[in-house]
Each structure stands twice: as C-alpha cells, then as structure tokens.
Structure 1
Amino acid sequence: MAGPHVVETRKALERAIHVERSALAQDLAELSEAQWAKATLCERWTVEQVVAHLTAGASTKMWRWLLSMLAARFNPDLHNDRRLAEHRGATPEETFRRFHAVVAGPAGPTGHTAAWLGEIVVHGEDIRRPLGLVRTPPVATTTAVARFFAGRDFTVESRTATAGLRLEATDGPFTTGSGDLLRGPTLSLVMGMAGRVAACEDLEGDGAAVLRARLRSGRRTS
C-alpha cells in the first residue's frame, strides 16, 4: 500500500517530472557560459550536453526511440550521443530554449514513467553538484525513483550496483534488500544506484565501501 511519501500513479509521476524540469530550468537560466561548459557527474558530458540529452528524452517518441536504439545496435551510449547532438543548440542559450520548451512535455519515450522521473532527478543532480547548486526533490519523488531503480536495471544498472546490500533511507520510507548496510538520504541512494561515485560521500554503513568499489570498476553512468 502507498505510504505518505510515495508517488505511485502515472499522473503523479508525470507531475513530479514537470516539477523537477521546471526547477532545473530555473537554475539553468542564471548560468554563465563557463558554467554551461563545466563537466558534470555524468562524466562523458558537460552541463550543456546533459541538458540536450534531457531535451531529447522529452522529445523523442517511442518508435523513434526504438529505431534509434536499433540503428545504434542497442549501444545506449551511441544512441544517447546521436539524440543529444540532434537536440543541442548552436549556443547554450539555444540549448536552454529547447529544454525550456519541453518542461511540460511528455515524460519520456516509453511508459516507464518512474525511470524518466529518475532521469531528471539524477541528471539534475549531475548538473547542480559540480556547480555548487543545491536542490533536494520531495521525498515522495526520490522514493518513487529509488523503488524503480532497486527493482530493475533499465536506463542505469541500478539493481546490479546494489545487489546483496541492505538499503535504508534516513529521510523517508525506502528500504530494500539484505546484506551489508547502505544508509543515507534517499537522493544519495538514488545517485549511488545510478552509478555516481560522489554519492558515496553521503552514505554510511559497510555497504558504502562495497558500492564505491563497484562503481569505480567502470560502470556506465549516462
């Protein structure tokens, strides 16, 4: 049964996506040219590239997404790079305008709405943390993402990253698994499941060292 800190319905997940996109757009509006070029926690991409990637996710229909994956021979990095290039503007300002235009748009190319909520939550943190910006999404939002990430590998190898660990949120109801304890804020657990080594700084328990070692072994983080 849904608790007080859970977003479960598709409409609620879509609303949460729009809230997080809007919050990110507000932060992006004030960035300098140097900040747009800064590296993010998503190591392959700059701030501008991550924003173009988010625009692609909100703009690509299911069949276009499937055809793109097929053309890339199901190589997600190649697929993502091609769609990113398609939606990146000639300048950061144009890239921002393209993202701003899809803030209230579709959740993503497939019906995995919680995954696309995870996309904006994770990439929002990818951008903000290196820039020294802070936003903690509602616990209902991060809990929904954590539950999806713990249940399956989809856009990130989240379930694999935390296999054999006991995850416990310190700010909400999320708990799962058994084994070495991995404990911390729900957002940090989400970021750790998404492959971000920096999130381990916010986590405690014997499972933190296990997760850090796994992520440093070279998992993909896009």
Structure 2
Amino acid sequence: MAAAETLSTTPLARPVVCPADVYICSESAPPTAVPRVTSDRAMSFGPSTCLPSEGFSSTTTSRSRMSDEYDTAHVSTLTATQRQATVAVLDRLSPSDWDRPTPCEGWTVAHLTAHMSMSFRVGITKLVLTMVRERGNFDRAADRLARDDVARMAHVELVAALRHNVTTAWSPPGGDLVDALCHDVVHGLDLTEGLERPTTATEEQLDLVLRTMRTKNRMEYFGADLAGHALQASDLDFRVGHGDTLVLPATAIVLILTGRESVHDHLAG
C-alpha cells in the first residue's frame, strides 16, 4: 500500500492521558474529544474472541520487556503499517458495510472499529468503572464500551480516532508492543474477513502473530482445538500441533488459533 511507505521507522509516539481521563491520545496528533458515556442500557454478552487481557493500558514499552528476538522500532513500524492499512479500508466503506457482521461474535464492522480505538480514547477510570458494572468480566466491559460508542459516535469519528493514533504506542496489561501488534493484526483480519476482502496483513506481520500465539500459549486462552491435526502454513515457515498435516494459508491458521474458525471448517468432506 503506497501510503504505508511514508511511515517513519522511529518508535511509536508516547501517549498521554487527556483531560478528564476520558480517552488517551497521542501527543503529536490528538483525536477528537468525545463526551463521557452515560447510557445505562443492558448490554448483551460481547465477543469471546478478543485478545486476552487486551485493554486500555497506554505506556511506552522498554526493550527489556520484549523478547530479544524483536526490535522495538521495527515492531512499532509493523504496527503503524497495519493501523494505516486498516484506516485505508475503513475510508472506503459504504454505509451498508458498517452493519456487516465480523468474526467477533455479535459485533458489526462499526463495533469492531470502535473497539480498535478504545485504547486511545478510554482512560483507566472509565475502564475500571465499566469492569465493575460488568462484574469483572472484560469481554462484557469491552462489549458495553463498543456498543455505547457506536450509539453516540459517527462513523467518521471512529475512523478519526484510529487515523490520529497510527503511531501511538500502547500495550495490553502485562503485555508489550508485540502483543499490541497482535491486537491490530488479528482485528484487522476480523475487519477484512467480515467485509470479504483480501487481508491487509503482511507475511512478516502474520508470522510474528503466529509465533507469539504459539510461544505465549494464546491457543489455550481461545480454546483452539486442532482436532488431532498439525497446521502447516502454505505461505510461511510455520507449523503448530501434532497429527495429520493440514496445509492452510497463514490467515486461516490465525483465525483457527484465535477461535474465529475451526479445523473442521477446512477438512474436505
């Protein structure tokens, strides 16, 4: 994508907490301010396929917190490239595209877009209060926040929140920049799968996500069942599991390991 070629290779910008602790923004390009959520309507159970403990911790990540295998600046560039690609897809949506379902159970493209920018807009106070309301269940809290945001924000505002934070650094609680990259890549797949469009993720991004899923035991969290098969990527040097080999594109393996799809969806007959 031509726009991605203009990205800087410098580390992601350090985010700052904005007034009233309502959202988190980049020092270099703050998002449009949004009012506090006041809706108290009951939320249905949200997606069970979000990344574990993904949330709204916005910090710079030191090299010591990341595997020596990865370079902080390079991971930052990969993340920014994915976000920019996601924004490019969102910029071309038709009005009806926003209502299309995604692999995140119960979420449309609009809900998914709201969720992808939550880490830049929602402060820790709001997150904690929502978690309390949802009895400590993060999936329900994320669902409530996404639905409230879709109800009160225009689609252009949701996209702007992502556009203004292409180079904003954040990391999930207990995680690092690699986990943040996984968040962007996997939800980028959710977006393109829901829209039935080609993936925006590069081979390098997919490879890093798959290796992170395997080494950090994310498969157990998502309840991924390989059904006695070994999954071999047809387009990457990646293999996981034991048993009969099932050769699939890397994107399909990501969707299986994160609970979006099942091995049985890809078995002949």
TM-score by length of 2: 0.62
Give 2:245's aligned amino acid. L
Alignment pair present for 1:84 and 2:146: yes
More helix by share: 1
Structure 2 CA distance for partners of 1:156 and 1:27, relative to 1, 3 Å? farther
Alpha-carbon offset, residue 142 of structure 1: 0.5
Alpha-carbon offset, residue 195 of structure 1: 1.3
Structure 2 CA distance for partners of 1:65 and 1:155, relative to 1, 3 Å? farther
Residue 100 of structure 1 is aligned with which of 163, 166, 175? 163
Instruction: Find the aligned partners of 1:182 and 1:18 in 2 and give their Cα distance.
Output: 32
Alpha-carbon offset, residue 87 of structure 1: 4.8
Which segment is superposed worse, 63-72 or 37-46?
Answer: 63-72
CA RMSD of aligned residues (A): 3.1
Residue 187 of structure 2 is aligned with which of 110, 120, 123? 123
Structure 1 unaligned regions, length at least 5: 1-6, 210-222
Work out which of the two has the higher radius of gyration on C-alpha atoms and give 1 or 2: 2
Alignment pair present for 1:167 and 2:228: no
Residue 12 of structure 1 is aligned with which of 74, 80, 88? 74
Give 2:212's aligned amino acid. F
Alignment pair present for 1:67 and 2:128: yes
Structure 2 CA distance for partners of 1:91 and 1:192, relative to 1, 3 Å? same
CA contact (8 A) 2:109 2:194 kept: no
CA contact (8 A) 2:224 2:258 kept: no
Alpha-carbon offset, residue 184 of structure 1: 1.4
Determine what percentage of the aligned residue pairs are the same residue. 25
Alpha-carbon offset, residue 154 of structure 1: 4.8
Cα deviations across residues 41-91 of structure 1 (Å, max 9, x unaligned)? 222111011011000134456x55983685244412212123324654522
Instruction: Find the aligned partners of 1:33 and 1:84 in 2 and give their Cα distance.
Output: 18
TM-score by length of 1: 0.73
Residue 178 of structure 1 is aligned with which of 242, 247, 256? 242
Other structure's SS at 1:167 match: strand
Other structure's SS at 1:181 match: strand
5 Å matches for 1:45-56? 45-56=107-118
CA contact (8 A) 1:143 1:172 kept: yes
